[in-house]
Amino acid sequence: MVKKSLPVRGNVSFEELKKVNEHGAEFWSARELQPLLGYSQWRRFDDAIKRAMISCRQSGNNPDYHFAGAGKMVELGSQSNREVEDYHLSRFACYLIAQNGDPRKPEIAEAQKYFAIQARRQEMSDALAADQERLEIRKQTSEEFKALSGAAREAGVQDRMFGVFHDAGYKGLYGGLGNEAIKQRKGIPKKDNLMDRMDTTELAANQFRMTQARDKLVRDRVSDQQAAIRTHASVGKEVREAIKRIGGTMPEQIPPAEHINEVEKRIKSTPPVLELDGKDAKGLVGEEGENGI
């Protein structure tokens, strides 16, 4: 079970280290946060802070609002004091440091869990979120295709007839067009998997077709190859009629989408844009503060 607070030394928790500055904004001292995240050397912790600053800028936020240079007085053995480098950190800065910390440290792993359950993770840009949605539904259709193939085999469809069986579903949904005819109409290369070039809406329609066909084969206890093929075609037609009734775009009229492999590459290479709102966006400046720190 994830802890509700992160212990640092004794019973002191992350939230108990929080302070409030002159702008009324909450902040944490990097020097006090350092042992909580499992760092014994300031130099290595400072490296994590620098990486977090870069992530802050890449995410579309101003590091000046979240990382403020500061000095901290520490006691020396000779009973004298010395000022050492420190930072005042917003909550968002603490989150970024946890994300950029040494993943081998159990304290970093706990911190990442902590910030996740605090709901301080920010949303991705709309475009990246749309890419994620399409990639996820493409994975789901792949699994559904396998499940439907298994149900078809149980219903008596022989391996050599699988192409005919799956084409029957396409023909029902696409007004008589099979796999190859759909690709030809849309200008999709023959070598491409048709579902890799479907957008989210088209993928969802096909996923629904396959799910309903699989369930109907099982529910009706179909055990004849030709009956299974007819069932798939019938389900495809029903889904097509449903789209028509609600005024949706017929699937054969939906333009081909970018290849799913390109979408996956973009997701892996694009840093998420983190949109902070109101108080969080201002960070250390606070809602009443000026534009600088």
Q: Which of 156-170, 198-212, 270-284 has the lowest mean pLDDT?
A: 270-284
Q: Which of 10-19, 208-217, 261-270 has the lowest mean pLDDT?
A: 10-19
Q: Is 155 found in the same domain as 66? A: no
> If pLDDT is split at 50, 70 and 90, which confidence band does 123 have?
very low
Q: Tell me the C-alpha distance between 243 and 293, whole Å.
A: 55
Residue 67 bridge partners (DSSP): 89
76 has a pLDDT exceeding 60? no
Q: Is 263 found in the same domain as 215? A: yes
The whole-number pLDDT of residue 177 equals 97
- 222-227: long-range contacts (C-beta < 8 A, 24 or more apart)? 222/155, 222/156, 223/155, 223/156, 224/155, 224/156, 225/155, 225/156, 225/157, 225/158, 225/161, 227/155, 227/156
- What six digits make up the tokens of 170? 């396409």
| Domain boundaries, position 214 | 126-269
Would 244 be classed as within a structural domain? Answer: yes
The whole-number pLDDT of residue 85 equals 87
CB 123 within 8 A of CB 280: no
Q: Tell me the C-alpha distance between 122 and 128, whole Å.
A: 13
Domain count, the chain: 2
Would 25 be classed as within a structural domain? Answer: yes
Q: Is 135 found in the same domain as 117? A: no
Q: Is 68 found in the same domain as 168? A: no
Do you know the residue count of the chain?
Answer: 293
Q: Is 178 found in the same domain as 245? A: yes
132 has a pLDDT exceeding 90? no
The whole-number pLDDT of residue 11 equals 54
Q: Percentage of the chain with pLDDT > 70? A: 81
Q: Which of 24-38, 184-198, 221-235, 277-291 has the lowest mean pLDDT?
A: 277-291
125 has a pLDDT exceeding 70? no
Q: Region 254-268: what's the mean pLDDT?
A: 93
Q: Is 235 found in the same domain as 262? A: yes
Q: Is 135 found in the same domain as 89? A: no
257 has a pLDDT exceeding 70? yes
The whole-number pLDDT of residue 283 equals 72
Would 10 be classed as within a structural domain? Answer: no
CB 286 within 8 A of CB 24: yes
> How many Å is the maximal CA-CA distance in the chain?
92
Q: Is 166 found in the same domain as 96? A: no
pLDDT tens for each residue of 145-160: 999 999 999 999 999 9
